[in-house]
Amino acid sequence: MKFRTMLSVRRLVALFICGGLLLPANASASDFGRAAVRGAERSLARGLRRNPVRLREFDAVRDRKSSLSILKSGRSVDRYTSLKKANSELKHGIAPNRHMTSFSSRKPLTANNAAIRLGLSKKPEVVERIEIPKGTSLHFNKVVGGKPGYGEITSPARLPRTFVRRILTLHH
């Protein structure tokens, strides 16, 4: 498997070198630059066209398959949601496999920024500040459908209502 991959990489590198030699000197750099920009634009457009239902299915499967980690020290996290859902979670606890941010921010995101960064289908109305104690089993993953580089956590078990510390209203 590795040999085939290396062979194809070598061929690709050779193709780029030969292609660069065949182009006129003044056109090669700018053409490659324009081609790279066009490729990046197409890639971004493809990412924006992704089906939200498929993203949720992928996210659910990935969360179940990812390994469980035991929290080594207590941690504050945020959960961006609707007011109705937050009130329900304040009474009954947080259902299993619900997404939370990896860490709590000092100042909550605005509703627009939270929806974009976390890949939410609707703008959240409130943020729940949740205190998760040491020893809790969690899945750590990256946000799907949001900005790259941000993490999320899920718990395979119901989190008790006592973990919810505060509910803050978000600015739109």
Alpha-carbon gap, residue 93 to 99, rounded angstroms: 14
- Alpha-carbon torsion, ordered 122, 81, 102, 89, to 10 deg: -150
For residues 96 and 64, the answer to whether their CB atoms sit within 8 Å is no
Return the closest-CA partner of residue 89 out of 171, 158, 15, 16: 158
Alpha-carbon distance values, 35 to 10, 30, 40, 54, 134 (Å): 21, 9, 9, 30, 50
Could you report the per-residue pLDDT of 48-84, keeping only the tens digit for each?
556 767 777 877 888 888 889 999 999 999 999 999 9
pLDDT band, very low/low/confident/very high, at 1 (cuts 50, 70, 90): very low
> pTM (2 decimals)?
0.68
pLDDT for position 12: 57
pLDDT value at 39 more than 90: no
* Rounded average pLDDT over 16-31: 55
Q: List pLDDT tens digits, range 100-147.
A: 999 998 999 999 999 999 988 899 999 999 999 999 999 999 988 888
How far apart are the C-alpha atoms of 101 and 117, rounded to whole Å?
10
